[in-house]
Amino acid sequence: MGNTVKDILKKPSLLFMTFGHWGFFNWMSDEQYLRIAYKIKLGKNLNLENPETFNEKLQWLKLYDRRPEYTMMVDKFEVKKYVSDIIGEEYVIPTLGVYNSFEEINFDALPNKFVLKCTHDSGGIVICKDKSSFNKKKVKSKLEKCLKHNFYWGFREWPYKNVKPRIIAEVYVSDTKQSGLIDYKFFCFDGEIKSMYIATERFNSTDETKFDFYDADFNHLPFTNGHPNANIMPSKPDNFELMKDIASKLSRNIPHVRVDFYEVDGKVYFGEMTFFHWSGLKPFVPEEWDMTFGSWIELNKIKI
């Protein structure tokens, strides 16, 4: 959740979100919970009867667009086969192992550099760049805490509800041109790319992450959402058109999904599929862009 004691003292309503994150309000229906969360996070009543904005429609999709295959698509291990079958395994970061518990991991069999991820959440990731200085005790504590947590609880993102909690080890990839991996995230609407953003400075301990949004022709868009724009605009990725093409293939027949990629030394790798950007609980500045993004989701095509 990321809410500190200081944050909660300034805004006690955040206690609801903090407790909700750990499942204290699982007795509430998803609709009840989302109406309260939406009011707390955005200061508005949630319109589910006639949703128009992007954030409103994401809440509607949580409740009514529940295809079983979405669970596989958010599973960080299972989605790899789905992606490989559609666009080819060359776009998938190789898996080194899959584990039901931390104790199952054979660290002697892993290379000196690797990545550990929980398959069922967002944020359960550990990067090892040198096994000789790898703090297993600290990592064990973090990952075991993640394994006990159902990501669905916090914002009722239904696809995560039934994902099997596991740990995967992946090959460590890095771009020799950049100090860290840059995310390229494409907003897809039934296979059509309408926008994307680039996340930079994610691993900068002294400054905030930056988000810069672009249209499908890589024209910078004049708004912010969650993080400020970068002081120096990021450059267009070399494989921009390829990313658009494979994002379109992966998102066909899905009302809305965000498809994320990395570009590593000229090669494209699939990152993940995200159905609810910021969980639909982060304002657009200026607000008109919330309506613009919302206009791209066609709810009338969805069979409830």
User: Considering the domain boundaries, does residue 79 fall inside one?
Assistant: no
User: Does any domain span residue 201?
Assistant: yes
With tokens 């931390």, the residue in question is 102
Q: Does residue 206 sit in the same domain as residue 272? A: yes
pLDDT along the chain (304 residues), means of 10: 65 81 94 96 96 98 96 97 97 97 96 96 88 92 93 95 96 80 93 96 75 97 96 92 98 97 94 97 98 96 78
Q: Please indicate, yes or no, whether residues 230 and 158 belong to a single structural domain of this protein.
A: no
Spatial distance between the Cα atoms of 102 and 167, rounded to a whole number of angstroms: 7
* pLDDT at 3 (0 to 100): 66
Same domain, 108 and 54: no
Q: What is the pLDDT of residue 206?
A: 67
Q: Are residues 253 and 280 in the same domain?
A: yes
What is the per-residue pLDDT across 178-221, written as a single tens digit (0 to 9) for each? 666 788 999 999 999 999 999 988 766 667 889 999 999 999 99
Range of the domain at 39: 5-64
Looking at the domain assignment, is residue 17 inside a domain? yes
pLDDT of residue 138: 94
Mean pLDDT score of the chain: 92
Tell me: do 118 and 183 sit in the same domain: no
Domain contains 78: no
Identify the residue whose tokens are 């994320």.
Answer: 260
What does the pLDDT read at residue 14? 77
- Are residues 165 and 181 part of one domain? no
Residue 77 belongs to some domain of the structure: no
Which CATH number goes with the domain that contains 186? 3.30.470
Residue 233 placed within a domain: yes
Q: Verify that 59 and 114 share a domain, yes or no.
A: no
For residue 2, the model assigns a pLDDT of 60
158 and 180, same domain (yes or no) = no
Name the one residue in this structure whose structure tokens are 């909690």. Answer: 165
Among 142, 171, 200, identify where a domain stops. 171
Residue 54 resides in a domain: yes
Asked if residues 170 and 146 have their Cβ atoms less than 8 Å apart, the reply is no
> Same domain for 182 and 294?
yes
Residues 140 and 187 in one domain: no
pLDDT of residue 12: 65
Picking from 141, 171, 201, the residue at the C-terminal end of a domain is 171
* Separation of CA 201 from chain center: 17
Report the domain count for the chain: 3
What is the pLDDT at residue 187? 98
| Residue 75 falls inside a structural domain | no
**What are 10-46's pLDDT values in tens digits?**
676 778 888 898 899 999 999 999 999 999 999 999 9
Domain boundary at 22, 45, 64, which? 64
Read off the pTM: 0.93
Q: What is the pLDDT of residue 4?
A: 67
